[in-house]
Amino acid sequence: MKIARIWYVVGIVASLCWTIPTLVFAQQSAEFFVSPKGNDKSPGTEQRPWKTVANAIKKVQAFRTENPGIKVQLYFRDGAYPVEEMLSLSGNGSEAPLELVAYPGETPVLTGDVRIKRWKQVTDRTVLNRLAPEVRGKIWQADLKKAGVESFGTTIEREDRLDLYWQ
């Protein structure tokens, strides 16, 4: 009877030694979510994600300040994320990494691009008369300031020029 009781106690201790570290380490990470369909006033959960990259980084940095030592995974759902300012991330060391992760099976894109939607054909005769006749009906214009483009870069430095992509 004593031997059975000893084995019973050994079994309980062994299972606790196996279970407790698993529970402790399982709680040492946090997940947050970002989606173009989200809301920055949301809690950043999978069901109620944040909307913008800047807000997500700000909230995650605050979380990491309050919870040092906890690994954070920031999942980005499918879609385009406009980034208007340089992102600044600070680390808490290798014990508590911050991972920016694409949600499984999805393709998020962080971009500094601005989509210009209000294009119109050039109709000003003084402008059209300066162009070759074969291109006159093919020239379009947009008001970049009204479209939200505030920085036009410089024409001197190649790295700082405004680029235009047509699709």
Q: What is the pLDDT of residues 139-160, one digit of tens each?
A: 999 988 888 777 776 666 666 6
**Three-state secondary structure string covering 52-106:** CHHHHHHHHHHHHHHCCCCEEEEEECCEEEECCCCCCCCCCCCCCCEEEEECCCC
Question: Does 147 fall in a domain?
Answer: yes
pLDDT for 22: 47
Lowest mean pLDDT among 15-19, 94-98, 116-120, 134-138: 15-19
39 part of a folded domain: yes
Which domain-ending residue is among 88, 111, 134? 111
Q: Count H helices and E strands in the chain, helices first.
A: 3, 7
Report the mean per-residue pLDDT for the chain. Answer: 81
**pLDDT tens track for 20-57:** 554 455 558 899 999 999 999 999 999 999 999 999 99
Q: Are residues 35 and 103 in the same domain?
A: yes
Q: Which of 33, 129, 141, 22 lies closest to 81, judged by CA?
A: 33
Assess whether 104 and 42 both reside in one domain. yes
Instruction: Give a yes or no: residue 132 inside a domain.
Output: yes
Highest mean pLDDT among 13-27, 92-106, 121-135: 121-135
Query: What total number of domains does the chain contain?
Result: 2
> Which residues form the domain of 47?
29-111
State residue 97's pLDDT score. Answer: 84
Q: Which of 109, 50, 110 is nearest to 83 (CA)?
A: 110
Residue 93, Ramachandran bin (φ over 0: left; ψ between -120 and 50: alpha; else beta): left
Residue 97 lies in a domain: yes
- Quote the CA–CA distance of 44 and 73 in Å, as a whole number: 11
Report whether pLDDT(90) > 80.
no
Tell me: pLDDT of 13 over 70.
no
Q: Are residues 43 and 73 in the same domain?
A: yes
Average pLDDT over residues 80-97: 75
Task: Look at residue 16 and tell me if it is in a domain.
Answer: no
The partner residues of 72 in beta bridges, in order of sequence, read 30, 98
Task: Assess if residue 140 is contained within a domain.
Answer: yes
In terms of domains, do 135 and 74 share one? no
Cα distance between residue 85 and residue 32, in whole Å: 21
- Whether residues 105 and 126 share a domain: the answer is no
Is the residue at 102 inside a domain?
Answer: yes
